[in-house]
Chain A
Amino acid sequence: MRLVAYLLPRIAAALITLFGVSLLVFLSLRLLPGGYADILLGPFVTPEARAIIAQRYGLDQPLVVQYMRWAGAMLSGDFGVSMVTQRPVIAEFLRRAPVTLQLALIALGVALAAGYPLGVLSGVRAGAQRKKRDFGRLVGAMGASVPDFVLGSVLIFVFSVWSLWFRVGGYVPFTADPVGNIRSMMLPGLTLSVFGVALILRTTRDAVLRVMTEPHITAAVARGASPGTIIRRHILRNAAIPVVTVTATYFGFLLGGAVIVEVLFSIPGVGLYIFNGLLNRDYAIVQAGVLLAAVVFITINMLADILYALIDPRVGAVR
C-alpha cells in the first residue's frame, strides 16, 4: 500500500510530463521551415502540389485538430504512418528497437565492467593515499571529456585505414550473422560506453568516499577488520544506491537513441530513424520517437526510484 501511495503522485506527474513533451514536439515540428512536400518534390514543388500533399497527410487541418487526431490515435495504439514509406512507424520502431537495445547493452556492460571496479578502487585509494597517483580520477576525467563524435571519428579513422577485424558500418542483424553483427556493433558500442565508464566511475568513487566517512567504517577499522572485508561488507553495499540511480539514468539516455553514434556508424537503430525522420520532415516518426524515448526515460527513472526506496526505506519516508 505504501508503494501505491508513493507511486500515484509520481505517475500523475509522469503523465503531465508526457503531455508536455507531446505538445512540445508536435508544435516545434510544425514550426520547422520546410515540409515533406519539399523533400519529396525537391525544387519542383508547386503550391498546388504542396496543397495536395498536405491534404493527403491531413496537414491542411488546423493545428488543434491535427494534434487531437494524433493524440487520439496514439491512445489507441496507432502511432501514425511514415510519409516516406506509407508504413506504420510503430512497426519500424519495433524492428529497430533491438538494434538500439543491443548498442545500449554493450555500452552499459562495458561501462559497468570498467567503471564500477575502477570507481571502488579509486575511492578506496583516494582515501588511503590522499589522491596521489589517482588513476581512476584521470580515467574519469578523460572519459567524461571526449565527446562521442570525436572518439567515433578517431575509431573510424583507425579502423578504416587498417583492417583490424572490427568493422566500420556494415550492420547485419545478429540472427543473420552473429559474428558480423558483433564486428559491426563493437566500435559504436565502445564509443558510447566511454562516457558511461566515466559517469559510473565518478559516481562510484564519490559514493565510496562518502560511505568511508561514516562512523560504522571507523568502527570496523577500529575493530581491526581487514581492508578487503571492509570493502566487501560495508562499502560496496552502501555505495550501490547512487550507482543504481546513475546507471538507470544512463541506460534511459542510451535507449533514447544515440543519434550521433548511429549516424556516424550507419547503425539502423531508433536514433538514426528519428534523425532521418527529422531531416525528411516525416512528422509521425519524430513525434512517436520523442514520445517513446520520454516514456522509456521516465519509466526507467521511476523504476530506479522504486528500487531506491526499497533499498533505502528512509527515502520513502522523507517524501
Chain B
Amino acid sequence: MPRLSRPSLSALALMAGMGLALPAAADSVITWGKPAEITGFDVHVAGTVASWEMYQMVYETLLTTDDDLALQPGLAVAWEEESPTRFVFTLREGAAFSNGRPVSAEDVIGSLERIRNPEIASYWAHQLGEIVTMEVLEDGRLAVELARPHASFLPALAHITAAIIPVEEYHTGDFDPASQLMGSGPFMVAAHDQDERWTLVRNPHYGIDSLPRADRIDVQIIPDESARMAALRDGRIDFTTFENPDAPQMLGSTASIAYAPIQTTNYYRFDVNALSEASPFHDIRVRQAMNLALDRDAINMLVFNGTSAPDFPVPAAFGNDACRDLDTYALPRAERLDRARALLAEAGQPNPQVELMASSANEVLVRIAQVTQQSLAEAGFDVQIAAVPTAEYLQRVFTDGDFDFSASWLAGYTDPGMVIQWWDPNFAIWNLAFQAEVPELSALLAELRGLPNSPERDAALIEACEMIDDGANLLALVSKVDYVVYRADQIEVTLAERTGSANIWQHIAEFAPAE
C-alpha cells in the first residue's frame, strides 16, 4: 500500500481555507484568472513567464523599472555607481520576509551567489557579469565589485530571476527553493492545489505602509481561453491576461469589463539556423532573401488584426529609431521581393525548401507561421510548417540546432543595450546552436555594453542594426502586446503603461476590490 507520509495537500488547503474563511467577511479578496500553472518553483532557475508571474507576487528584486523602463528602487532604496565596476546598494528599512525576519545584506549576497553557482544551473548567471567580490557594509548597505564594466548588470537585477530569497533559512534547510516560495514581496503562499488554485495572503511583514491593499488573492488556473472569458463574464475572476488580439471583441461590449493593452519591449521573432549545413539558410543570401520577402504588415493585419506593428531588433517600445531606415523596413514590398528573388537566383536556390517550426501550444505562433508561408512563397520559398510540442521545439532549436527557422518571441528587457546583446551568441549563450558569430558585430556590441545612453550610443546602435540585418540570423517581426482584461466593477488595478521583463503585475500590491 502507498504510504502517505504527510497530510494530503487538499486537506492542508482546506484547513488553510477554513482558517481564513472565518474572518473572511472583513477581508478584501481579489481573484486572478491565471492562464498557466508554473513550470517549477525555483525562482533562480525557471525560465518561463507563467512561473515569473507567480514569483512576482512573492519575491522582490533589488531594482525595478518605471513606465519609461528606467530603473527605480525595489528592495534597494538607493544604489550608487562608485565606479564602472563597483556598486553600492542600500536596502529598504523594514523589508522582511514573510516569516518576519528582516531582509539583510547577507540575503542579497547569498541570493546572487546562488544564481552564480553552476550547480543551481541558473540561466541568469551570465547576465550579472563577472562578480569578483561582494561585501556587507554598515547600515543595511552592501557593495558588489565586477571584474569589468557590464552595462546590463543593474537592469539584470530588475528581473525577477534575480529575486532575493531568505538565504539563512535556505542554509538551515527551513526553506527549500525547489518546492516552496518564500520572499519579501507583498504576498505569501497559503495554499496551492496544482493546476487548480493558489491562495496568496498578505505578507504581514511587507513593511510598506498600508500595502498590499488586498488581504488575499485567490488564483484560479484556467488555461482554456473560452473558459477564462466565461469566468470573467460571470465575475468569478477579477483580472486576467490574453495573448489573442481578438479577445476584446470576443468578450463583447460589456461595460463592466475593461481592457488594457500593455506595451512591452517583447516582440515576435524568427530564429534562423545559420550554422547547420543541412539547412538552406546556411547560405547567408537565402537568409537575406527570406528577411526581405517577409511581410510584417500582413502578420500584423492578419494575425493581430492591426493592433500590433512591425518591430525592430532594437524594440520600438524603447522609442529608439536605430533600425527604422533599413531596406528591410523602408523599401516597398514589390522591390524587396525582386531583390529576394535575385538573391535566391544568385545563391543557386531559386526555390529553397525550408521548415518553419513553432510550438503548437501557442496558436499565435502557428498563425504567424501560416501567414509567413504564404508571403515567402511569393519569393519562391517552399515553406513546410512543423507545429510541435513545446519540449520538442525547445530541444531541436536551442540544443540540437536541428531546424531551418522557428517562430517564437523575445523578451526585450529594460534597455536597448541589453536586448541587442542577443546578437553576440557567445554573450547570449542561448542561441549558440544556430547563431553565427560576426566578430565585428561582437566587438561593436562589447563596446555598446560599456556605453551609457548618448548620441554616441545611438550611432553605434544604427551601425549594429545594419550588421544585424545583414546577417539575417535572428529577425524581429512584430511587437508583442499583452492584453490585461479586468472587471472594472469589481477591482481597482494599477497597471504599468509599458513593461520590459514580463512583469505586468508589478503594481499588484496596489490592487484592491472596488468600493
Q: Do A and B touch (CB < 8 Å)? A: yes
A interface residues with partner B (beta carbon < 8 Å): 32-36, 38-50, 52-53, 77-79, 83-88, 90-92, 94-95, 156-157, 159-160, 163, 167-171, 173, 175-176, 263-266, 268, 272-273, 276, 279-281
Bound CA span A264–B236, Å: 18
Task: Determine if B230 and A33 form an interchain contact, defined as CB atoms under 8 angstroms apart.
Answer: no
Bound CA span A41–B397, Å: 13
Which partner residue on chain A sits nearest B180 by CB separation? A86
**Shortest distance from the beta carbon of A2 to any chain B beta carbon, whole Å:** 29
Known contacts A79-B2, A94-B8, A268-B196, A167 near B47 by CB under 8 Å:
no
Known contacts A91-B4, A167-B230, A280-B39, A264 near B224 by CB under 8 Å:
yes
Task: Determine if B1 and A44 form an interchain contact, defined as CB atoms under 8 angstroms apart.
Answer: no
Task: Determine if A265 and B46 form an interchain contact, defined as CB atoms under 8 angstroms apart.
Answer: no
Q: Flag whether B320 is at the interface (Cβ < 8 A).
A: no
- B306: which A residues are within 8 A, CB to CB? none
Q: Flag whether B455 is at the interface (Cβ < 8 A).
A: no
**Shortest distance from the beta carbon of A162 to any chain B beta carbon, whole Å:** 10
Task: Determine if A44 and B47 form an interchain contact, defined as CB atoms under 8 angstroms apart.
Answer: yes
Task: Determine if B47 and A46 form an interchain contact, defined as CB atoms under 8 angstroms apart.
Answer: no
Interface residue stretch chosen among B65-73, B343-351, B387-395: B387-395
- B37: which A residues are within 8 A, CB to CB? 276
- A79: which B residues are within 8 A, CB to CB? 2
Q: Flag whether B362 is at the interface (Cβ < 8 A).
A: no
Partner of A52, one of B3, B121, B397: B121
**Shortest distance from the beta carbon of A228 to any chain B beta carbon, whole Å:** 47
Q: Flag whether B193 is at the interface (Cβ < 8 A).
A: yes
Q: A34-B394, A170-B220 are in contact. List 10 more A-B contacts (CB 8 A).
A: A34-B391, A43-B430, A52-B121, A85-B41, A86-B176, A91-B4, A91-B6, A157-B226, A170-B236, A265-B227
- B194: which A residues are within 8 A, CB to CB? 84-85, 92, 268, 273
Partner of A169, one of B5, B9, B118, B224: B224
Known contacts A45-B399, A92-B194, A273-B195, A279 near B391 by CB under 8 Å:
yes
Task: Determine if A43 and B47 form an interchain contact, defined as CB atoms under 8 angstroms apart.
Answer: yes
Task: Determine if A268 and B195 form an interchain contact, defined as CB atoms under 8 angstroms apart.
Answer: yes
Task: Determine if B2 and A39 form an interchain contact, defined as CB atoms under 8 angstroms apart.
Answer: no
Top 4 nearest A-B pairs by Cβ distance? A34-B391, A44-B123, A169-B227, A86-B179
Bound CA span A78–B5, Å: 11
What is the number of residues of chain B that contact chain A, defined by CB distance less than 8 Å? 63
- B398: which A residues are within 8 A, CB to CB? 38, 43, 45
Q: Flag whether B223 is at the interface (Cβ < 8 A).
A: yes
Task: Determine if A170 and B391 form an interchain contact, defined as CB atoms under 8 angstroms apart.
Answer: no
Known contacts A87-B179, A90-B2, A266-B222, A42 near B227 by CB under 8 Å:
no
Q: Flag whether B450 is at the interface (Cβ < 8 A).
A: no
Partner of A41, one of B123, B228, B230: B123
Task: Determine if B394 and A45 form an interchain contact, defined as CB atoms under 8 angstroms apart.
Answer: yes
- A38: which B residues are within 8 A, CB to CB? 390-391, 394-395, 398-399
- B2: which A residues are within 8 A, CB to CB? 77-79, 90
Q: Mark B23-61, 1 if CB is under 8 A from A, else 0.
A: 000000000000001111100011110000000000000
**Shortest distance from the beta carbon of A111 to any chain B beta carbon, whole Å:** 24
**Shortest distance from the beta carbon of A159 to any chain B beta carbon, whole Å:** 7
- Considering only residues 1-25 of chain B, those with a C-beta below 8 Å from chain A are 1-6, 8-10, 14, 17
Bound CA span A298–B387, Å: 36
Which partner residue on chain B sits nearest A273 by CB separation? B195
Task: Determine if B230 and A168 form an interchain contact, defined as CB atoms under 8 angstroms apart.
Answer: yes
Residue from A35, A92, A266 with most neighbouring chain B CB atoms (10 Å): A266
- Considering only residues 207-239 of chain B, those with a C-beta below 8 Å from chain A are 220-224, 226-231, 233-234, 236
Bound CA span A86–B179, Å: 6
Bound CA span A40–B9, Å: 23
Task: Determine if A156 and B395 form an interchain contact, defined as CB atoms under 8 angstroms apart.
Answer: no
Bound CA span A214–B120, Å: 74
Known contacts A53-B121, A95-B8, A272 near B391 by CB under 8 Å:
no
Which partner residue on chain A sits nearest B49 by CB separation? A42
Bound CA span A4–B399, Å: 55
Task: Determine if A42 and B394 form an interchain contact, defined as CB atoms under 8 angstroms apart.
Answer: yes
**Shortest distance from the beta carbon of B53 to any chain A beta carbon, whole Å:** 14
Which partner residue on chain A sits nearest B192 by CB separation? A85
Bound CA span A276–B391, Å: 12
Task: Determine if A77 and B1 form an interchain contact, defined as CB atoms under 8 angstroms apart.
Answer: yes
Partner of B14, one of A40, A77, A175, A265: A175
**Shortest distance from the beta carbon of B292 to any chain A beta carbon, whole Å:** 26
**Shortest distance from the beta carbon of B305 to any chain A beta carbon, whole Å:** 21
**Shortest distance from the beta carbon of B399 to any chain A beta carbon, whole Å:** 6
Task: Determine if B226 and A40 form an interchain contact, defined as CB atoms under 8 angstroms apart.
Answer: no
**Shortest distance from the beta carbon of B337 to any chain A beta carbon, whole Å:** 31
- A45: which B residues are within 8 A, CB to CB? 123, 394, 398-399, 430
Q: Flag whether B278 is at the interface (Cβ < 8 A).
A: no
Bound CA span A308–B224, Å: 42
Bound CA span A38–B396, Å: 10
- A91: which B residues are within 8 A, CB to CB? 4, 6, 8-9
Partner of B41, one of A86, A163, A272: A86
A sample of 30 inter-chain contacts (CB < 8 A) reads: A34-B391, A34-B394, A40-B47, A42-B123, A43-B47, A43-B430, A44-B430, A46-B123, A47-B399, A48-B118, A52-B120, A52-B121, A53-B121, A83-B40, A86-B41, A88-B5, A90-B4, A91-B4, A91-B6, A156-B227, A157-B226, A160-B227, A160-B230, A169-B222, A170-B227, A170-B236, A176-B17, A264-B224, A265-B224, A276-B195
Q: Flag whether B301 is at the interface (Cβ < 8 A).
A: no
**Shortest distance from the beta carbon of A50 to any chain B beta carbon, whole Å:** 7
Q: Flag whether B429 is at the interface (Cβ < 8 A).
A: yes
- B228: which A residues are within 8 A, CB to CB? 169
- B47: which A residues are within 8 A, CB to CB? 40-44
- A48: which B residues are within 8 A, CB to CB? 118, 121
Bound CA span A92–B4, Å: 11
Bound CA span A190–B193, Å: 25
Q: Flag whether B361 is at the interface (Cβ < 8 A).
A: yes
Q: Flag whether B119 is at the interface (Cβ < 8 A).
A: yes
Bound CA span A157–B46, Å: 35
Task: Determine if A159 and B389 form an interchain contact, defined as CB atoms under 8 angstroms apart.
Answer: no
- B39: which A residues are within 8 A, CB to CB? 39-40, 84, 280
Known contacts A45-B398, A176-B17, A160 near B195 by CB under 8 Å:
no
- B5: which A residues are within 8 A, CB to CB? 88
Which partner residue on chain B sits nearest A262 by CB separation? B195
Task: Determine if A41 and B121 form an interchain contact, defined as CB atoms under 8 angstroms apart.
Answer: yes
- B9: which A residues are within 8 A, CB to CB? 87, 91-92, 95
Residue from A52, A87, A169, A263 with most neighbouring chain B CB atoms (10 Å): A169
Q: Flag whether B331 is at the interface (Cβ < 8 A).
A: no
Bound CA span A41–B42, Å: 11
Which partner residue on chain B sits nearest A99 by CB separation? B196
Task: Determine if A39 and B233 form an interchain contact, defined as CB atoms under 8 angstroms apart.
Answer: no
Task: Determine if B195 and A43 form an interchain contact, defined as CB atoms under 8 angstroms apart.
Answer: no
Bound CA span A204–B233, Å: 43
Which partner residue on chain B sits nearest A278 by CB separation? B389
Partner of A85, one of B179, B388, B399: B179
Q: Flag whether B178 is at the interface (Cβ < 8 A).
A: yes
**Shortest distance from the beta carbon of B426 to any chain A beta carbon, whole Å:** 12
Bound CA span A176–B17, Å: 9
Which partner residue on chain A sits nearest B232 by CB separation? A160
Task: Determine if B395 and A35 form an interchain contact, defined as CB atoms under 8 angstroms apart.
Answer: yes
Task: Determine if B196 and A33 form an interchain contact, defined as CB atoms under 8 angstroms apart.
Answer: no
Partner of A39, one of B14, B221, B394, B399: B394
